[in-house]
């Protein structure tokens, strides 16, 4: 079962527009069918990267359960606890795709931690936007707790990868908590976009330094 193509592209275009990025080819052109996913390393939903000369090749795999859940419960119609997890997973992988292309175009290197941290921030901002659109601008209660504290890591991760995911989640929780208090709750949407765009363009060292000052 495949994900709705229009949902994938919708999330991609929202991220590109929010961060004032040049639109790229749709992520759907890079999705690897589930029946072919076994040829590639790893398991579950994941973004695959391979250096190709001076550039990179990117492929995106989505777990069959994620595709099924989002087809049955479209988050554009209603986003709630029943489809929050699958939608968060979709957003993370689309975020990886967009951020990798942004860094490749810059050009600049990117670490795994930086990639995961930005995906966590993008997940919060995207979910918050979808929820607000469906609830007359209201902020989802307990959103950061649901995204950054009540998550489950997939089985089989190495200790290094598990620690990296935890670190990215903790860092994003701190940064998004500041965004929420400073911009989201007061309704300062223009200032939120300006801050998020500045953060997006920072490298890992500067991202971590910015969070440490909060």
Domain range list for the chain: 5-212
DSSP single-letter state for residue 38 = G
Confidence check: pLDDT of 180 > 60: yes
pTM: 0.93
pLDDT digits (tens, 9 = 90+) for 33-85: 888 877 887 778 888 888 777 677 888 989 899 999 999 999 999 999 999 99
pLDDT of residue 149: 86
Q: Which two tokens stand for residue 198?
A: 């500045």
pLDDT of residue 22: 95
Element (H, E) at 213: none
pLDDT of residue 141: 83
Q: Who's near 207: CB < 8 A, 6+ residues apart?
A: 114, 117, 118, 199
pLDDT of residue 214: 87
pLDDT of residue 155: 66
What span, in angstroms and rounded, lies between the C-alpha atoms of 23 and 20? Answer: 9
Q: Which two tokens stand for residue 147?
A: 């995204």
Residue in this structure with the two tokens 């089989």, named with its chain if needed: 156
pLDDT digits (tens, 9 = 90+) for 107-116: 888 999 999 9
Cα 11 to its chain centre, rounded Å, is 9
pLDDT of residue 34: 80
Higher pLDDT, 86 or 44: 86
């Amino acid at each position: 079962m495949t994900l709705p193509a229009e949902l994938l592209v919708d999330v991609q275009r929202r991220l590109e527009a929010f961060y004032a990025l040049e639109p790229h080819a749709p992520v759907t052109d890079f999705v690897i069918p589930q029946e072919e996913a076994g040829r590639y390393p790893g398991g579950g939903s994941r973004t695959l990267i391979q250096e190709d000369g001076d550039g990179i090749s990117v492929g995106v795999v989505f777990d069959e359960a994620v595709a099924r859940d989002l087809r049955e419960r479209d988050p554009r119609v209603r986003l709630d606890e029943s489809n929050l997890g699958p939608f968060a997973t979709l957003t993370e992988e689309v975020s990886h795709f967009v951020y990798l292309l942004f860094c490749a175009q810059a050009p600049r290197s990117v670490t795994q931690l930086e990639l995961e941290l930005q995906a966590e921030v993008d997940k919060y901002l995207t979910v918050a936007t979808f929820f607000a659109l469906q609830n007359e601008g209201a902020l989802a209660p307990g959103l950061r707790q649901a995204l950054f504290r009540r998550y489950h890591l997939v089985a089989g991760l190495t200790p290094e990868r598990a620690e990296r995911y935890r670190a990215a989640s903790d860092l994003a929780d701190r940064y998004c908590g500041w965004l929420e208090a400073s911009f989201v709750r007061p309704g300062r949407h223009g200032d939120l976009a300006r801050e998020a765009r500045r953060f997006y363009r920072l490298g890992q060292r500067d991202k971590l330094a910015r969070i440490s000052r909060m």
